[in-house]
Amino acid sequence: MAALLGIVSPVTFTGKHPVNSRSRRRTVVKCSNERRILFNRIAPVYDNLNDLLSLGQHRIWKNMAVSWSGAKKGDYVLDLCCGSGDLAFLLSEKVGSTGKVMGLDFSSEQLAVAATRQSLKARSCYKCIEWIEGDAIDLPFDDCEFDAVTMGYGLRNVVDRLRAMKEMYRVLKPGSRVSILDFNKSNQSVTTFMQGWMIDNVVVPVATVYDLAKEYEYLKYSINGYLTGEELETLALEAGFSSACHYEISGGFMGNLVAMR
């Protein structure tokens, strides 16, 4: 489970000397691949389980994240860790057919679902979306390209979060925003307890029906290994953003970081 968790401490020590960067690199690559496999495996049922398990609320949270990004008509925007495309479709409705949306993910199966969903949509704005298979920590884009960046339930799953944050900073135009939605690692013990209880007693039992118990058990461990809102703000400032604010939503179950370059 630890491998699936891919929880890699910033510096891994054995004995007196830090493990060399080559072994750390190997660990990062291995953990990253474990996660890619996880999201490939859940791709066929991902959207339906999100709707069922959040009672459709996740669509509200994603709408909020896209609104916070500041994306507007005619913009060129990026949705990182786009998965099956939920935030990319919402962004395309904001930028319209005169804008452009890039959806990037390293799961080929998630991108295949996104492309299929796009092919079934009639509105012209959805035609402005392009899907790219790539890694959030090494973006295939130039500096200062995008008017907005979104990341829905992605940063918690990225092994090197600071590197991903620095890449988001690099590809954003000065004065533009990144909006990062995810579970909230709450400081309130009641919220943490309720989050964990829901995952243990609702989410995982339902996922078990689809033989995905292990994949959804990862959720709880990944939230435990995530950053608090305050730590996310600090991470954004460390990556170079001029300002950062983390908003708790849905009773503290979820959170959204907004940072400006």
Ligand X SMILES: C/C(=C\Cc1cc(O)c2ccccc2c1O)CCC[C@H](C)CCC[C@H](C)CCCC(C)C
Give the tokens for residue 237: 């400032």
Residues in contact with ligand X, shown as a per-residue x/- string from 218 to 247 under the rule CB under 6 A: xx--x-------------------------
154 vs 229 by CB, closer to ligand SAM: 154
Decide: is 86 part of the binding site for ligand SAM (CB under 6 A): yes
| Tokens found for residue 101 | 């949306």
Residue 98 contacts residue 74 (beta carbons within 8 Å): yes
Report if residue 83 touches ligand SAM, rule: CB under 6 A: yes
In sequence order, the 6+-apart residues with CB closer than 8 A to the CB of 14 are none
Minimal distance, residue 242 CB to ligand X, in Å: 28
As given in the structure block, the two tokens for residue 230 are 């305050």
Structure tokens that stand for 53 in this block = 């398990």
Could you say whether residue 183 binds ligand SAM (CB under 6 A)?
no
Closest CB to ligand SAM among 83 and 255? Answer: 83
By C-alpha distance, which of 160, 222, 154 is closest to 28?
A: 160
Residues in contact with ligand X, total (CB under 6 A)? 21
Residues numbered 4 to 43 that lie near ligand SAM (CB under 6 A) are 32, 35-36, 39
Please state, in angstroms and rounded to a whole number, the distance separating the CA atoms of residues 44 and 6.
23
- Measured distance CA(114)–CA(119) in Å, rounded: 9
From candidates 27, 57, 63, 191, binder to ligand X by CB under 6 A: 57
Q: Which is nearer to ligand X, 42 or 78 (CB)?
A: 42
Determine, following the binding rule CB under 6 A, whether residue 58 of this chain makes contact with ligand X.
Answer: yes
Number of Cβ within 10 Å of residue 57's Cβ equals 15
* Subset of residues 108 to 167 that bind ligand SAM, contact rule: CB under 6 A: 110, 135-137, 152-154, 157-158
Q: How far apart are CA 162 and CA 176, in angstroms?
A: 19
DSSP string of 30-66, one letter each residue: HHHHHHHHHHHHHTTTHHHHHHHHTTTHHHHHHHHHH
Total of residues contacting ligand SAM (CB under 6 A): 22
> Least separation, in Å, of the C-beta of 179 and ligand SAM?
12
- Residue 10: DSSP 8-state: S
106 is a site residue for ligand SAM (CB under 6 A):
yes
Task: Check residue 81 for interaction with ligand SAM (CB under 6 A).
Answer: yes
* Site residues for ligand SAM per CB under 6 A: 32, 35-36, 39, 62, 81-83, 86-87, 105-107, 110, 135-137, 152-154, 157-158
